[in-house]
Amino acid sequence: MMVLVLRRCPVLEELALQMVLGPPNSNTADTELPVSLPRLRFFLLCDEMIRWRYLRPKLSIPESASIHPDLILPRQDMYFDCYDRFAEEAARECLSWPGFPTCRVIILHYQVITPTDSARDRVAPELVRIAFASGEEDAWGEKDPEQKTRRWTLTFRIPGRVLETRYPPGPLDAHLNVKRINSPEDVVGSIFRGIAQASAHAPLVDLTATEVLIVKAGGRLRHMAEYHSLTCCFPNLTTLVVYGVFDRNFYALKGVLRELCDGRWLNLEQVRLPDYIGQDCDFDWLEKFVARAIKFSK
């Protein structure tokens, strides 16, 4: 039905579909010509992977369009701690289309239901979103349809209280308890490892090409307490931007310093802390502490 509706909208510029698709129509012929949307500049689909697989091949979208798959993580993958399996599948299926803007700049958005300052909580996130772009300004457009920058995002919605209020689990999944995780860092690391594994099928999805990693934080956006699960995924990182760090004793900064002192991220040249409110002389102290040629700044 949605395909038929879209055929009547050839001048569509924005398309956002959030949990509105019915079961995939197996009666639709695979040989049917794709729906041409030559003016489309923003496409968001929030749903299960099966519906992305059904709809995306049926759309002809300009390579300049901003694409935003927003996928529900299967409860089984969370229960069995298989975030990487689903992340690899999602990257392969969703990011291998023409127009993907490279992985040079990545923004990590780890959102929890209730704000927390705890470095060691094990509460599952509400969602994890990753933005991909060739430049920082482009990447900050994220999922905003008003922004016309060239960027894609990939969102993983985690089963939990928020999602289940609208979409309760089916009878086969209801017994799977998914309220706890090992750690936020393990979840994020597993997702990035899965994305990295997809590069064999989607060559542009190459995390070794990432030069700038931006970690958002504040409010419901949780800090990363450790970075060891990320260092192996970004071997050529030159710039790390960490939000939500206010002074040199903050636990998220300590995680960064541990990685640097252990000799990881050998290509890193600068660490930016945009929210820092300490004294500028602290940056000199940090640079001496890591004993490496790394510039700290706001």
Taking only the tens place, the pLDDT of each residue in 119-133 is: 677 778 889 999 999
> Rounded to an integer, what distance in angstroms lies between the CA atom of residue 190 and that of residue 208?
16
Give the pLDDT confidence of 4-62 residue by residue, as tens digits.
999 999 999 999 999 888 887 655 555 578 999 999 999 999 999 999 999 999 999 99
Flag whether pLDDT at 285 surpasses 70.
Answer: yes
Neighbours of 254 (CB within 10 A): 14
Please check whether residue 220 is in contact with residue 251, taking contact to mean a CB–CB distance below 8 angstroms: no
- Quote the DSSP letter at residue 229: H
Give the pLDDT confidence of 77-99 residue by residue, as tens digits.
887 888 999 999 999 999 999 99
Between 109 and 174, name the one with better pLDDT.
109
Between 39 and 175, name the one with better pLDDT.
39
Mean pLDDT over 203-226 rounds to 93
Can you give the pLDDT at residue 173? 61
